[in-house]
């Protein structure tokens, strides 16, 4: 398979997954793809870059980090193909470096909200959320983590492996046990695939029921999200598309085919309203969800006019 379609396929089938990681993979693929485009005609080069950008964006519809990363790289300029390639490399490398730094910074900021002896409940596998736990552990705080399995893709198994390697004590629970164990948790720390202008967050299916349980039990919910996970298009009133994945992730096709009246619903994400979120921890500070609009305006550099232009990358 060609490297561009290979990367697109890996993002689609979740071989490369996690909102931050797919954003960095897309930026790096655009950079490498641009190197491989052999034309010296700028028009043709631009056309090919747009094709690659759209292909990468189409792989997963929910994580806003993906179109935001692609758009960052597609802001390239240049009067020749060589200049354009150079600029693309600079933008892609810059995005990747900023992204890695952002995850580290979120850890430092978020760890201040973790007290010695705390038990943290988490869901799925978020590198930004784990960065907070790792930083708290590194600061010498004795923490425990309760991790959900995160069916149907079992990302909780990735989380327990990462936490185990760091040396953090972790309990693995089934997704349906979050309310049962909420009494043992001091706070909840989770990641995000998207944050909307009104401060809602979109994250792995099950996030909203966990946040609801935490709200009922008066436990704080911290969302770890880099600024490039905020959705500029939500300012235009657009809703984030929730990815519906294949039924075979939930039940084998042969088993499902035994039934006449059964279908499977498999949304990969859900929406948690801002009422259930105490803090969104970004690399530019820990903010209340109500401040999401400011992040979009100040840090993503989007103007409404910009968004209405033909150059707009869909769903960002
Ligand atoms: P980081 C993941 O999506 C999870 O929903 C996780 O919470 C979110 O991305 C953020 O991950 P998926 O790719 O960027 O597993 O914090 O569907 O690593």
Per residue in 203-212, pLDDT (tens digit) is 999 999 999 9
Which residue, judged by its Cα, is nearest atom 15 of ligand 1? Answer: 18
CA of 33 to the centre of ligand 1 (A): 25
Pairing of strands 279-282, 285-287: antiparallel
The half-sphere exposure of 200 on its side-chain side, counting CA atoms within 13 A, is: 15
Under 8 Å CB-to-CB from 200, ≥6 apart: which residues?
A: 271, 272, 273, 274, 289
**pLDDT at 88 (0 to 100):** 98
Query: For 229-267, b where at least 16 C-beta lie within 10 A, e where not — what string?
Result: bbbbbbbeebebebbebebeeebeeeeeeeeeeeeeeee
Q: Is the CB of 150 under 6 A from ligand 1?
A: no
**pLDDT at 305 (0 to 100):** 53
Sign of the C-alpha dihedral computed for residues 126, 128, 282 and 307 taken in this order: negative
Q: What is the pTM of this model?
A: 0.94
Q: Write out pLDDT tens, residues 240-284.
A: 999 999 999 999 999 999 999 999 999 999 999 999 999 999 999
Q: What is the pLDDT along the chain (316 residues), one digit of tens a residue?
A: 589 999 999 999 999 999 999 999 999 999 999 999 999 999 999 999 999 999 999 999 999 999 999 999 999 999 999 999 999 999 999 999 999 999 999 999 999 999 999 999 999 999 999 999 999 999 999 999 999 999 999 999 999 999 999 999 999 999 999 999 999 999 999 999 999 999 999 999 999 999 999 999 999 999 999 999 999 999 888 899 999 999 999 999 999 999 999 999 999 999 999 999 999 999 999 999 999 999 998 888 765 555 554 444 444 4
CA of 63 to the centre of ligand 1 (A): 8
Q: Write out pLDDT tens, residues 53-83.
A: 999 999 999 999 999 999 999 999 999 999 9
**pLDDT at 312 (0 to 100):** 44
Please state, as a whole number, how many other Cβ atoms lie within 10 Å of the Cβ of residue 46: 17
Question: Using CA atoms, how far apart are residues 180 and 3, in angstroms rounded to an integer?
Answer: 46
Q: Which atom of ligand 1 is nearest to the CA of 65?
A: 14
Place of tokens 């939930």: 250
**213 belongs to the catalytic site:** no
Among residues 118, 175, 193, 278, the one annotated as catalytic is 193
Q: Is the CB of 67 under 6 A from ligand 1?
A: no
Tell me the average pLDDT of the chain. 95
């Amino acid at each position: 398979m060609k490297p561009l379609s290979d990367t697109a396929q890996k993002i689609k089938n979740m071989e490369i997954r996690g909102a931050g990681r797919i954003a960095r993979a897309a930026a790096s693929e655009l950079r490498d793809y641009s190197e491989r485009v052999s034309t010296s005609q700028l028009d043709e080069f631009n056309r090919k870059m747009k094709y690659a950008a759209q292909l990468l964006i189409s792989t997963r519809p929910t994580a806003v980090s993906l179109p935001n990363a692609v758009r960052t790289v597609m802001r390239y300029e240049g009067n020749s193909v060589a200049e354009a390639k150079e600029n693309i490399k600079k933008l892609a490398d810059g995005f990747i470096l900023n992204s890695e730094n952002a995850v580290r910074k979120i850890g430092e900021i978020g760890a201040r909200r973790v007290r010695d002896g705390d038990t943290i409940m988490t869901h799925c596998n978020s590198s930004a959320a784990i960065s907070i736990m790792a930083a708290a552990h590194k600061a010498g705080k004795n923490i425990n983590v309760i991790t959900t399995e995160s069916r149907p893709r079992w990302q909780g198994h990735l989380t327990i492996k990462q936490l185990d390697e760091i040396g953090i004590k972790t309990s693995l629970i089934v997704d349906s046990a979050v309310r049962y164990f909420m009494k043992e948790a001091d706070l909840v720390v989770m990641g995000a695939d998207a944050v909307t202008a009104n401060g809602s967050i979109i994250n792995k299916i099950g996030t909203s029921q966990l946040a609801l349980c935490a709200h009922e039990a008066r436990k704080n919910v911290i969302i770890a999200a880099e600024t490039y996970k905020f959705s500029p298009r939500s300012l235009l009133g657009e809703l984030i598309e929730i990815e519906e994945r294949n039924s075979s992730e939930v039940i084998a096709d042969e088993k499902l085919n035994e039934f006449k009246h059964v279908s499977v619903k498999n949304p990969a994400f859900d929406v948690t309203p801002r009422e259930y979120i105490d803090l969104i921890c970004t690399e530019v500070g820990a903010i209340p969800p109500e401040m999401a609009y400011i992040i979009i305006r100040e840090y993503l550099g989007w103007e409404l006019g910009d968004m209405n232009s033909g150059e707009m990358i869909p769903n960002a």
